[in-house]
Amino acid sequence: MKYLDEYRDPALGRELLGRLARTASRPWRIMEVCGGQTHTLVRQGIDELLPAGIRMIHGPGCPVCVTPLETLDRAMAVAARPGVTFTSFGDMLRVPGSTTDLLALRARGADVRVVYSPMEAVRIAEENPDREVVFLAVGFETTAPANAMTVLHAARLGLANFSLLVSHVLVPPAMTALLEDPDCEVEAFLAAGHVCAVMGWREYEPIAERYQVPVVVTGFEPLDLLEGILMAVVQLEEGRYDVENQYARAVRRRGNDEAQLALARVFRVTDRAWRGIGTLPAGGLELAPEYAAFDAVRRFEVGAQHSVEDPDCIAGAILTGARLPTDCRAYGIRCTPRTPLGAPMVSSEGTCAAFHAAGRTGSTP
């Protein structure tokens, strides 16, 4: 398939692995930020093919996984209210809150619907003026522009029955928090190509400079990842800490001007809780005051949420790369894709789901 096969060529993959083996003179630890990258690494077995000593640390870049439990519990409380139609992408429906999930709420009669874009939620609001329609807006800089455009569209339509429950997070503050941790083992990052397609990579330059850590903007296909790892290792071996772009076919330094403009109009930066990491200063987005009428938190008073994680779930440690799914005593036993205890086992980008789909049962490099 054009535009895919050329990035999955086994011969080129073996060549890149050979160059990695010839380049690396000592062990290096590299974090891939994005869950989509994690899935490719694990599904293709790339992490197990790397030369001895090069270890991939799986990062927190799964939008479903980092959505805090309190937000999920608030979503359940809003969705359970009479007169509310609650909309979300499908993988959020099975993410467990403290006591239940959106799928179970729907089974008990709540109007919870899967949509394939936030604009679909706006259409539902237009067609059902007697109902309050709420969209669960989660994710990184990749999904936020579409949600910003949705708010602008709803404002133009004058919709008074549409709102967002916002839990957007930003990648650079999370990278900084990881690097500030005294136990951090990360020596280089593979930055998420789709985030950088929106935001560019200028935000990563001060991080690379301050912490002296290479950052390589990387795509998602097997050869993208192998080349990104090689570029990171070359920098580490040469003692450089620059921001480089492996994903040149999709990313430019300044990113997407139109998307950034929409973000700036609709959202403002705020402190934001990340599941497994905690509250990060300037770690996320909230609706700007002029669009507060679309804020579901303001529209629905659901009170304080007292959220409790399952004691067997180590999702926080997995999201920060401190532990592997196979370190979890519940992995594959109490916690499976059919009976997930935490978001990393639910999401298509979750590390636990990636390991389970690949049949991983023991320790990995």
Does residue 353 sit in the same domain as residue 262? Answer: no
Does residue 241 sit in the same domain as residue 321? Answer: no
Interval 346-355: pLDDT, tens: 887 889 999 9
Question: In this structure, is residue 11 part of a structural domain?
Answer: no
Question: In this structure, is residue 224 part of a structural domain?
Answer: yes
Question: In this structure, is residue 6 part of a structural domain?
Answer: no
Question: In this structure, is residue 5 part of a structural domain?
Answer: no
Does residue 196 sit in the same domain as residue 328? Answer: no
Does residue 219 sit in the same domain as residue 73? Answer: yes
pLDDT score at 308: 75
Q: In what order do the strands lie in the sheet with 162-169?
A: 111-114, 84-88, 132-139, 162-169, 278-287, 267-274
In this prediction, the residues of the chain whose per-residue pLDDT falls under 70 are 303-306, 362-365
Rounded Cα distance between 261 and 38, Å, is 30
Q: How many CB atoms lie within 10 A of CB 329?
A: 10
Q: Are 336 and 361 in contact (CB under 8 A)?
A: no
Show the domain range for 342: 314-358
pLDDT score at 305: 64
Structure tokens at 184: 């951090």
Does residue 272 sit in the same domain as residue 343? Answer: no
DSSP letter string over 209-274? HHHT--EEEE-SSHHHHHHHHHHHHHHHHHT---EEES-TTT--TT--HHHHHHHHHHEEEEEEEE
Does residue 182 sit in the same domain as residue 77? Answer: yes
pLDDT score at 304: 65
Question: In this structure, is residue 364 part of a structural domain?
Answer: no
Does residue 304 sit in the same domain as residue 324? Answer: no
Of the residues 266, 286, 308, the one at which a domain ends: 308
pLDDT score at 86: 98
Question: In this structure, is residue 10 part of a structural domain?
Answer: no
- For residue 61, the domain's CATH number is 3.40.50.11740
φ, ψ at 99 (rounded to 5°): -130, -20
Does residue 221 sit in the same domain as residue 325? Answer: no
Of the residues 290, 308, 326, the one at which a domain ends: 308
Of the residues 292, 308, 324, the one at which a domain ends: 308
Question: In this structure, is residue 104 part of a structural domain?
Answer: yes
Does residue 164 sit in the same domain as residue 292? Answer: yes
φ, ψ at 334 (rounded to 5°): -75, -30
Does residue 175 sit in the same domain as residue 323? Answer: no
Does residue 192 sit in the same domain as residue 250? Answer: yes
Rounded Cα distance between 323 and 315, Å, is 9
pLDDT score at 21: 97
Does residue 133 sit in the same domain as residue 188? Answer: yes
Interval 112-149: pLDDT, tens: 999 999 999 999 999 999 999 999 999 999 999 999 99
pLDDT score at 94: 87
Helices (H) and strands (E) in the chain, counts: 15, 11
pLDDT score at 229: 98
Say what the pTM is. Answer: 0.91
Question: In this structure, is residue 363 part of a structural domain?
Answer: no
Number of domains the chain contains: 2
